[in-house]
Amino acid sequence: MSIFFAQNLVFLRSRLADRPSQQKLGDALGLKKSTLAAWEAGRAKPSFDDLLRLAEYFTISTDDLLKRDLAKELSRPWIKEDNLRVLVTTVDRDNAENIEFVPVKAIGGYTEGYGDVDYIAQLPVISLPFLSPDRKYRAFPFEGDSMPPLREGSIVFGEYIEYWERIKSGTICLVVTKEEGVVLKKVFNYLEEKGVLVLKSLNERYAPYPVRREDILELWQFVGYFSREFPVS
């Protein structure tokens, strides 16, 4: 068994949205907690069937699970579903993830530059000590009136979403699409059934609309915002 398997299993469990315990993840996989604990500690090896079950659950290949040191790739969050998606990011001198801020003057080029190392590297970075250092965040300007009480000019902070299929319907996200750029919407997940996300504004004047999976570039879950103006409903 690969030397990476045990540490990758610990890493993947820690990256799940709800950070499940060994007991909770074991229940989801139909495994005993003691079995999962033994795998994570390197005291036991999974059967071939169990290895396939783990790869399917985490939506990665068995090769990735066995051969890649995933913990060292935090600066390049990834996902394997239909293909490999790579997030270009920056880190500070201590190798901790930066929170890049996409200013208004750069937002128009984000759909072209989001995967460009030079574009991301020139973005200003900010520090928010109350956000988890183990997760990836980015900040975007909010425009329009579709999501009250947010006002135009607010800065919205999002947490990078790796596993799109697991987004709970009703989650508010920054959705980066080929056509619209960066929009803030309430997301309803129909990726498995229809291959689309339905985006809904909080302002009822705007009708919900679907976005196809292939038109989505990135998803960032809303975690907070900053505004110089007091919000009004």
pLDDT tens digits for 145-174? Answer: 999 999 999 999 999 998 898 899 999 999
pLDDT tens digits for 167-215? Answer: 999 999 999 999 999 999 999 999 989 999 999 999 999 999 999 999 9
pLDDT tens digits for 107-158? Answer: 999 999 998 888 999 999 998 988 988 789 999 999 999 999 999 999 999 9
> Please, which residues have CB within 8 angstroms of residue 59's CB and are 6 or more apart in sequence?
79, 80, 81, 163, 165
Q: What is the pLDDT of residue 156?
A: 97
Please report, for the domain that includes residue 43, its CATH number: 1.10.260.40
Q: State the DSSP code for 231.
A: -
Instruction: Enter the tokens of residue 130.
Output: 């109350």
For residues 216 and 113, membership in a common domain is answered with yes
Q: Residue 84 — pLDDT band, cuts 50, 70, 90?
A: very low
Residue range 91-103: mean pLDDT, rounded: 87
pTM above 0.85, yes or no: no
> 16 vs 220, which has greater pLDDT?
220
Please report, for the domain that includes residue 179, its CATH number: 2.10.109.10
For residues 112 and 67, membership in a common domain is answered with no
Can you give the residue range of the structural domain that contains 67? 5-73
How many domains are there within the chain? 2
In a domain, 195, yes or no: yes
- Cα separation, 231 vs 233, in Å, equals 7
173 with 220: CB under 8 angstroms? yes
Give backbone dihedrals phi and psi of 101, rounded to 5 degrees, phi first.
Answer: -110, 125
